[in-house]
Structure 1
Amino acid sequence: MNQARSLMPQENILVVDDNPANLKLLTQLLSQQGYHVRVAPNGSLALKSVKAHFPDLIILDILMPEMDGYQVCEQLKANPETQQIPIIFLTAVHEAIDKVKAFSLGGVDYITKPFEEREVLARIENHLRLRSLQLELEKRNRLLRKQEAEIRLLLAIVQKINQAEDIHSALADVLPLVCLTIHWDYAEAWIFNGSRRQLQCSQSYYSRDRSLASFHSQSQDSSLNTEVGLLAKLFHSKKPIWTKNISQEDWQNFSRFQQAMAVGFQAAGAVPILGDNQVLAWLFFFKQESFSSSSWLIQLVSGVATQLGSFMQRKQAQDELKNQKEQTEQLLLNILPRPVAQRLQSNPEIIADDYADASVLFADLVGFTAFSAQKTSTELIKILNEIFSRFDRLTEKYQLEKIKTIGDAYMVVGNLPDAHPKHTIAIAQMALEMQASIADFSRQTNENFQLRIGINIGPVVAGVIGKTKFIYDLWGDTVNVASRMESSGVPGKIQVTATVYERLKDRFKFETRGLVPIKGKGEMTTYFLVGISQPVT
């Protein structure tokens, strides 16, 4: 990530939080990624900072004295000059009503504390990329509107360009129109073939004299070196060049001069297709009689080149948007189960489904908080990533659904959103393999990691919260009890409810723990899952 970011300009991020520790942590995290970070300890100073210099993105806390985050966001969104600045709420407030309010005021994202550093960085980068692309598209759209207003005489050519699927088909339509309009005999377009040093002929057009077919064939079999002769001069100037007689000195340095003379060309012209002042391609025109180019001809062909350049940029922007959309969709699939993501894309309404029978597993790394005090943030992230990646592979193996990670905790569910006829068996197998996996990881790292796991089964409600930041989560007594099974459990053990025991006792080995006080439930009889009693298919 650091190498990738070093190639990008430093985006300016304003962090607003009344907690000095949070400001310090976020400043360090963002600065390490190459961002330029400014901080504001309260809402008033944040507004003054924004007024002094617009940031590219704002990370905003909600709970602050005098002026809270909502008020800051509301004022910024009310100002036309600042309303487009992306605002990410980063706060300890996690109630759904607060998230809805944040998004309704114009926030683009909502992250709850404690947060996962990689997730925060990924969301920041994504929103900055979207904002950059939006600004770039707005800039290009303004340029296109100006060009369309200025070159009304090119309506027919513009229509052809707009109807084309790609630059090659656009050139195939445009070159004949240009040649017939300016009464020249031959035209061809040369585009980079993957290297900035070589041009390849994309399209060509010739009229009347069929002897020009030989020149066309030679073009298809040739490439032009942009670093020598006439081409080097053209690329340096980035300006069109027209001559009534190619026997003059400049064109004698053209690599295809002898071929052009052989078919009787006399007048010639070369016009660059530019985008953001960079050469995208070249148009070449030839005529079999001496001809002094008029200002009308030069303006007309230059106008065509301008339109083609805009078309190529637009296509590039569309391709970039398509790629960005695909990346966003993939990110959505990484956050949400595929069926839920598909429903959300087709109908972005609240999703809340009842499931009569689901298996819920909570797992927690025991003592990881104390362990983290001995490691750097990078080391911690690397270790958690390795452990949770192991768990992710087990989730895929048993066709279960990972719901989320919270710090060093991991949550998995079975039988939703897709039905799983053996979900309880699968989640029990996964729990046993999780314990084996963490033991194996401890041996490899010479550490003493232990996992506390809790499992419960029963009805749940599953759905998506939020408008633009989508979180798929579970609710219900079944979920609460599963969480209590984990928190009241024993390190290295898998604690389950009596309901789980009754369903699995014929297939798995259990040890009775007995009555355990469970918060909100009183005393409950629980069991430890210790192994498999008979093969499970």
Structure 2
Amino acid sequence: MTAIPQNAPNSPSTQILIVDDIDANRAVMTRRLEMMSYRVSSVESGHEALKHLSHSKPDMILLDYMMPQMNGIEVLHRIRSNPETDSLPVIMVTARAESEATVEALRAGADDYVTKPIDYDVLKARIESHVIRKSSTRNLKHENEALDEQATIRSLVVADLEQDLQSEIEKRAELEDKLATITSREVLSAPQGGKTLAIRSLLDEVATKHAALFKTVSQNEVPALLDMIEMRKLIHEAIETLP
């Protein structure tokens, strides 16, 4: 049997909060939504809704527009002004005659709306749409965070490699200076001249390796560790060859 993904539309893990001051409305909506396999909680006022959200975050909120003391728009403003709840999907429930309320709700940040009497097939489709969107957004956020972490690690590795490469460049420059001193003293006769030519050959190889490594780092790519090791080995060989 295929497992239902977590927070998939109308899976048992999808939690819906109903906010409505009329007991009969909450009872009917709860029964119909539970028949669709949703997990349902309900509260009777805006204040109770905000209290509920302080310790529990549902996947969807069904918010009635017309409520005493704190109406749906006020509750919606409070939800959207709180960083911990500002991204929760909210569907506003309005009466058919409340077209102005619908516009006001959408402007205040409601994700969608349904009208009374509720068409539960329409409500189900809208719930599924917003739960999927929320899940996709959350997954994309996690992927972006993972990519940012990888980019940070890569930048640190490149920085370390650049530091190592700079050290090798300085050693190469030092060898070039020593070789120039040897050459200026005209010690190219055997056997010393053979050593000088050997150093020159090693430095030519170092120059080739250096050019390749510099090109790699300048393109923000990570150089091959083996190339770094070979370059270091060549420089050490050149140092040991010096008279």
Q: TM-score, normalised by structure 2?
A: 0.59
2:224 corresponds to: 181
1:196 corresponds to: none
The 2-side partners of 1:93 and 1:52 are apart by 33
- Decide whether the 8 Å contact of 2:94 with 2:101 is kept in 1: no
1:139 corresponds to 2:142 = yes
Instruction: Give the SS at the match of 2:66.
Output: coil
1:128 corresponds to: 131
Q: Deviations over 1:465-485 (max 9, x none)?
A: xxxxxxxxxxxxxxxxxxxxx
Q: Deviations over 1:129-157 (max 9, x none)?
A: 100111111111111111101112579xx
2:85 corresponds to: 82
The 1-side partners of 2:38 and 2:10 are apart by 12
- Decide whether the 8 Å contact of 2:10 with 2:38 is kept in 1: no
Q: Deviations over 1:305-325 (max 9, x none)?
A: xxxxxxxxxxxxxxxxxxxxx
Counting only pairs closer than 5 Å after superposition, residues 463-474 of structure 1 correspond to structure 2 as: none
Q: Deviations over 1:218-255 (max 9, x none)?
A: xxxxxxxxxxxxxxxxxxxxxxxxxxxxxxxxxxxxxx
Q: Could you tell me which amino acid in structure 1 is paired with residue 114 of structure 2?
A: I
The 1-side partners of 2:121 and 2:30 are apart by 14
Q: Could you tell me which amino acid in structure 2 is paired with residue 119 of structure 1?
A: V
1:101 corresponds to: 104
Q: Describe the shift of the 1:113–1:94 C-alpha distance in structure 2 as closer, same or farther (beyond 3 A).
A: same
Q: Describe the shift of the 1:141–1:49 C-alpha distance in structure 2 as closer, same or farther (beyond 3 A).
A: same
- Decide whether the 8 Å contact of 1:6 with 1:34 is kept in 2: no
Counting only pairs closer than 5 Å after superposition, residues 180-219 of structure 1 correspond to structure 2 as: 181=224
Structure 2 unmatched runs, 5+ = 160-220, 230-243
The 1-side partners of 2:70 and 2:136 are apart by 32
Could you say which structure has the greater relative contact order, defined with CA pairs below 8 angstroms and 6 or more residues apart? 2
Instruction: Give the SS at the match of 2:21.
Output: coil
Q: Could you tell me which amino acid in structure 1 is paired with residue 111 of structure 2?
A: V
1:30 corresponds to: 33
Q: Deviations over 1:367-408 (max 9, x none)?
A: xxxxxxxxxxxxxxxxxxxxxxxxxxxxxxxxxxxxxxxxxx
The 1-side partners of 2:61 and 2:9 are apart by 21
1:47 corresponds to: 50
Deviation at 1:8, TM superposition (A): 4.3
Deviation at 1:99, TM superposition (A): 1.6
Q: Describe the shift of the 1:47–1:148 C-alpha distance in structure 2 as closer, same or farther (beyond 3 A).
A: same
Counting only pairs closer than 5 Å after superposition, residues 140-159 of structure 1 correspond to structure 2 as: 140-152=143-155, 153=157
Q: CA RMSD in A?
A: 2.7
Deviation at 1:100, TM superposition (A): 1.6
Q: Deviations over 1:491-513 (max 9, x none)?
A: xxxxxxxxxxxxxxxxxxxxxxx
Q: Describe the shift of the 1:6–1:133 C-alpha distance in structure 2 as closer, same or farther (beyond 3 A).
A: closer
Counting only pairs closer than 5 Å after superposition, residues 429-468 of structure 1 correspond to structure 2 as: none
Deviation at 1:103, TM superposition (A): 0.8
Bigger CA radius of gyration: 2
Deviation at 1:6, TM superposition (A): 9.2
Q: Following TM superposition, where does structure 1 have runs of at least 4 consecutive aligned residues deviating by more than 2 angstroms?
A: 3-9, 93-97, 152-155, 180-184
Q: Could you tell me which amino acid in structure 1 is paired with residue 14 of structure 2?
A: E
Q: Sequence identity, in percent? A: 33
Q: Could you tell me which amino acid in structure 1 is paired with residue 80 of structure 2?
A: K
Q: Describe the shift of the 1:149–1:67 C-alpha distance in structure 2 as closer, same or farther (beyond 3 A).
A: same
Instruction: Give the SS at the match of 1:52.
Output: coil
Q: Deviations over 1:410-432 (max 9, x none)?
A: xxxxxxxxxxxxxxxxxxxxxxx
- Decide whether the 8 Å contact of 1:62 with 1:93 is kept in 2: no
Q: Could you tell me which amino acid in structure 1 is paired with residue 62 of structure 2?
A: I
Q: Describe the shift of the 1:137–1:6 C-alpha distance in structure 2 as closer, same or farther (beyond 3 A).
A: closer
